[in-house]
């Protein structure tokens, strides 16, 4: 009597449709990956979605194919043990003295090495790609479009995203990937917040990011800044304000503690508790100066219950420079002022300031509609109100239209509910509270000492 179990054990189990399909899938995706890896190596593609396909999807299919091969073998083995006939004929016994079998074994060994190489390259390139600016800024296109647009026009546009958002070492890597997985599901389910909340939670501390390039103890002294503003009248009347800004700074060794960067003198320690998630309302401030004196300041009418349970944060660079790599214009008016000041909009074009501001502050559902609406508004205004100028200076009108469209695209993103002034900028105190979050004349100690508010603490008018 034939022992079916022994027959099942002695016959090969890889000749089944699942194992063959797995081998074909692995071979195909592996070959495609290697081909595209070479294309990527020589810079023949830059599209982020292609990158996801080739460095994440293809390797995933490759790994799936490899898993299907043994899975098919296990299922085939169970099938035979159940008494059903084998799916395929027996494999011949391996005899390395047989040249044909020897070539087969060597081929399998070579393919195994290639498989390991493919998996290694896929893992390396996948991780590298997920840490690239392209991946961070363009893959989740709608979600990250505002931040990516601001980043490209920022002073830190040559600093990669991961240098600030992901730290070195395994803990930061694992944390970032877990957070990224959650964000991917949020994007797929369209459950992400609009706009993206700021400040970012669990951002790396400034001493690990900003201070790798910027020296907090450096004494900067004074800097001259010229601000050009334009009135909403026919002549776009210019007002020039020149400030001597007392940046100051200093170190414990030098004993210099003056100007705005007095806050960052390493001998001074400042902690605070914010009453809101955006850190725009400061309820409590704790200060220890370089002499060791400690003072506590409380916002007017703040109660202990309002402070209880809230984060107590050590003040660092990011509390004032809170948009260092993702800055948006403070307002539509300031954005248009800057465009006129650098010549993108002709200052001699009648009512240019007023009309461009009105055009970019109008409500549009998307950028395409905005481009059309801005162009129609400005063309109609000059065609009807200043026919001669429209005829003789059409080029200036069109240039103003292009500048207005660019300002809108750079600062307003309807699909993410990002508009003028959505994100506070804590530098200064004109469009947002900024410095006045603490220097507002209402933060005082229990004995009545108030945080100073004199203008000349930070700047003088020239």
Got the DSSP string for 77-109?
HHHHHTTPPPSSPPPPPP-TTSHHHHHHHHHHH
Task: Answer yes or no: do 31 and 165 share one domain.
Answer: no
In the DSSP assignment, the letter for residue 268 is -
Range 318-347 average pLDDT: 95
Total count of domains within the chain: 4
Are residues 313 and 451 both part of a single domain? Answer: yes
What does 39-74 look like in DSSP terms, one character per residue? HHHTT----HHHHHIIIIIHHHHHHHHHHHHHHHHH
Instruction: Please report the pLDDT score of residue 173 as a whole number.
Output: 62
Contact 409, 149 (CB under 8 A): yes
Q: Which helix (H) or strand (E) holds 296?
A: strand 294-298
404 burial (CB, 10 Å; 0-12 / 13-18 / 19+) is buried
d(CA 25, CA 63): 9
Residue at a domain's end among 104, 130, 156: 130
Q: Which of 48-62, 125-139, 195-209, 368-382 has the lowest mean pLDDT?
A: 48-62
Amino acid 209: pLDDT: 83
164 and 290 assigned to the same domain: no
User: Are 309 and 451 found together in one domain?
Assistant: yes
Mean pLDDT rounded to a whole number for the chain: 83
In a domain, residue 428? The reply is no
Residue 423, domain member (yes or no): no
For position 66, what pLDDT does the model report?
Answer: 84
| Same domain, yes or no: 315 and 344 | no
Q: Would residue 211 count as lying in a domain?
A: no
d(CA 243, CA 273): 31
pLDDT of residue 120: 64
> Residues 442, 296: one domain?
yes
Give the domain extent around 279: 222-325+437-461
Closest by Cα among 216, 421, 452, 441 to 323: 421
Return the beta strands (E) in 138-281 as ranges: 222-230, 238-246, 269-274
Asked if residue 88 has pLDDT above 70, the reply is no
Instruction: Assess whether pLDDT exceeds 50 at residue 1.
Output: no
Percent of the chain with pLDDT over 70: 81
What's the Cα-to-Cα distance from 447 to each of 30, 144, 224, 437, rounded to whole Å?
73, 48, 37, 21
Query: Per-residue pLDDT averaged across 85-107, rounded?
Result: 70
What per-residue confidence (pLDDT) applies to 213? 86
Count of residues for the chain? Answer: 462
pLDDT at 56 > cutoff 70: no
Please identify, among 130, 159, 178, the residue that sits at the C-terminal boundary of a domain.
Answer: 130
317, 442: one domain? yes
Q: Report, as an integer, the average pLDDT of 301-318.
A: 92
Is the model more confident about 105 or about 420?
420
Same domain, 112 and 244: no
Structural domain includes residue 200: no
Instruction: Indicate whether 126 belongs to any domain.
Output: yes
Q: Which residue has the higher pLDDT, 409 or 24?
A: 409
Per-residue pLDDT, averaged over 158-178, amounts to: 71
| 354 and 305 together in one domain | no
Cβ proximity of 412 and 418 under 8 Å: yes
Nearest to 297 by CA among 176, 188, 452, 190: 452
Alpha-carbon separation of residue 102 from 20, 89, 93 (angstroms): 21, 20, 12
What torsion do the CA atoms of 253, 258, 264, 268 make, to the nearest 10 degrees?
Answer: 60
Distance CA 163, CA 155 (A): 15
119 lies in some domain:
yes
Pairing label, strands 238-246, 222-230? antiparallel
- Each residue's pLDDT tens digit, 347-379: 999 999 999 999 999 999 999 999 999 999 999
Rg (Cα) of the chain, in Å, rounded? 32
**Residue 461 parent element (H or E):** strand 459-461
Residue 424 falls inside a structural domain: no
> Does residue 166 carry a pLDDT above 90?
no
Residues 154 and 186 placed together within one structural domain of the fold: yes
Give the containing element (helix H, strand E) for 110.
Answer: helix 99-130
What is the structure's pLDDT at 6? Answer: 47
Residue 46 has pLDDT above 80, yes or no: no
Confidence of residue 49 (pLDDT cuts 50, 70, 90): very low
**Claim to verify: residue 155 and residue 244 sit in the same structural domain:** no
Domain membership flag for residue 426: no
Q: pLDDT by residue (tens digit) across 175-218? A: 666 666 677 777 777 777 889 888 877 777 788 888 888 887 77
**Same domain for 106 and 150?**
no
Q: Are 11 and 90 in contact (CB under 8 A)?
A: yes
pLDDT value at 170 more than 60? no
Q: Which residue has the higher pLDDT, 427 or 28?
A: 427
Q: What is the mean pLDDT of residues 282-293?
A: 91
């Amino acid at each position: 009597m034939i022992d079916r179990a022994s027959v099942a054990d002695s016959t090969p189990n890889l000749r089944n449709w699942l194992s063959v399909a797995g081998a074909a899938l692995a071979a195909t995706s592996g070959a495609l990956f290697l081909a595209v890896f070479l294309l990527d190596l020589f810079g023949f593609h830059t599209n982020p979605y292609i990158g996801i396909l080739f460095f994440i999807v293809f390797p995933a299919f490759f790994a799936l194919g490899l898993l299907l091969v043994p899975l098919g073998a296990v299922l085939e083995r169970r099938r035979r043990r159940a008494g059903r006939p084998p799916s395929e004929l027996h494999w011949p016994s391996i005899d390395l003295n047989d040249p044909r079998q020897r070539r087969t074994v060597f081929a399998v060994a070579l393919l195994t090495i290639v498989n390991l190489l493919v998996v290694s390259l896929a893992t390396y390139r996948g991780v590298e790609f997920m840490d690239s600016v392209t991946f961070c800024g363009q893959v989740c296109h709608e979600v990250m479009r505002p931040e990516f647009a601001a980043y490209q026009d920022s002073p830190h546009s040559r600093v990669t995203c991961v240098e600030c958002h992901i730290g070195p070492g395994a803990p930061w890597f694992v944390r970032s990937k877990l957070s990224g997985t959650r964000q991917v599901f949020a994007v797929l389910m369209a459950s992400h917040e609009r706009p993206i909340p700021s400040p970012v939670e669990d951002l790396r501390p400034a001493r690990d990011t900003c201070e790798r390039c910027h020296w907090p103890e450096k004494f900067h002294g004074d800097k001259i800044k010229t601000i050009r503003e334009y009135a909403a009248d026919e002549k776009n009347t210019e007002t020039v304000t020149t400030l001597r800004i007392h940046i100051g700074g200093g170190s414990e060794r030098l004993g210099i503690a003056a100007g705005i960067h007095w806050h960052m003198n390493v001998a001074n320690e400042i902690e605070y508790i914010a009453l809101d998630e955006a850190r725009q309302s400061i309820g409590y401030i704790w200060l220890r100066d370089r002499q060791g004196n400690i003072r506590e300041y409380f916002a007017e009418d703040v109660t202990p219950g309002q402070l209880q349970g809230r984060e107590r944060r050590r003040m660092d660079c990011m509390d004032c420079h809170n948009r260092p790599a993702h800055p948006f214009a403070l307002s539509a008016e300031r954005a248009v002022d800057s465009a006129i000041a650098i010549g993108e909009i002709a200052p001699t074009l009648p009512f240019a300031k007023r009309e461009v501001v009105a055009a970019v502050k109008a409500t549009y559902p998307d950028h395409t509609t905005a481009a059309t609406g801005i162009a129609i508004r400005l063309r109609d205004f000059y065609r009807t109100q200043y026919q001669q100028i429209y005829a003789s200076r059409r080029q200036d009108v069109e240039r103003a239209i292009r500048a207005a469209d660019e300002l809108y695209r750079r600062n307003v993103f309807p699909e993410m509910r990002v508009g003028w002034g959505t994100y506070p900028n804590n530098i200064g105190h004109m469009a947002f509270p900024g410095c006045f979050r603490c220097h507002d004349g209402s933060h005082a100690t229990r004995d009545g000492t108030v945080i100073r508010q004199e203008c000349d603490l930070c700047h003088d008018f020239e």
